[in-house]
Amino acid sequence: MKKIILIGRVAAGKTTLTQALRGEEIHYFKTQYVNYLDTIIDTPGEYTELRQTSGALALYAYEADVVGLVLSANEPYSIFSPCITSLVNREVIGIVSGIDKPDANVERVSNWLRLAGCKKIFPVSAVTGEGLDAIIAYLEEDSK
């Protein structure tokens, strides 16, 4: 299975998605440091939001096969700049988390991820499980 690093702002759903992809019971906790797991690297949102720590994400991206930019389906704005995917030499996918939220706007958030440079977009709900199979299948492609 390809190793993926999940990058996004605080409360984007990275840790919940990590738990769901690993088949774990979902429970909230604040990610305080980079969690380097078997096939997933879960990063604190502050690393994305703060210039002082964002450089560390570039280094951790080299440890992954795929970079996953995570935006919640109810985000009021995108934290990712247009064409930001050109900064890494890994495939970058977009992940729209929380598609089950009542105020979700999957189309708007998907457009922001395309603008950032993501060619593949995966809308998911870690709570209902919708879309998880598609990400797992993608991560299993060509890795056998």
Task: Give the tens place of pLDDT for each residue, 84-130.
Answer: 998 888 999 999 999 999 999 999 999 999 999 999 999 999 999 99
4-140 folds as: Rossmann fold (3.40.50)
CA torsion through residues 101, 106, 90, 82, sign: negative
CA 124 to CA 106: how far, in whole Å? 10
Q: At residue 139, does pLDDT exceed 70?
A: yes
For residues 142 and 38, which has the higher predicted lDDT (pLDDT)? 38
What pLDDT is stored for residue 51 in this prediction? 79
Whose structure tokens read 């998911």? Answer: 124
pLDDT value, residue 143: 58
Strands (E), 33-105: 35-36, 40-42, 66-72, 91-97
pLDDT for residue 29 is more than 90: no
Domain boundaries, given as residue ranges, for the chain: 4-140
Q: Give the whole-angstrom CA distance, residue 82 versus residue 85.
A: 8
Tell me what the mean pLDDT of segment 43-55 comes to: 83
Question: Both tokens of residue 135?
Answer: 């990400």
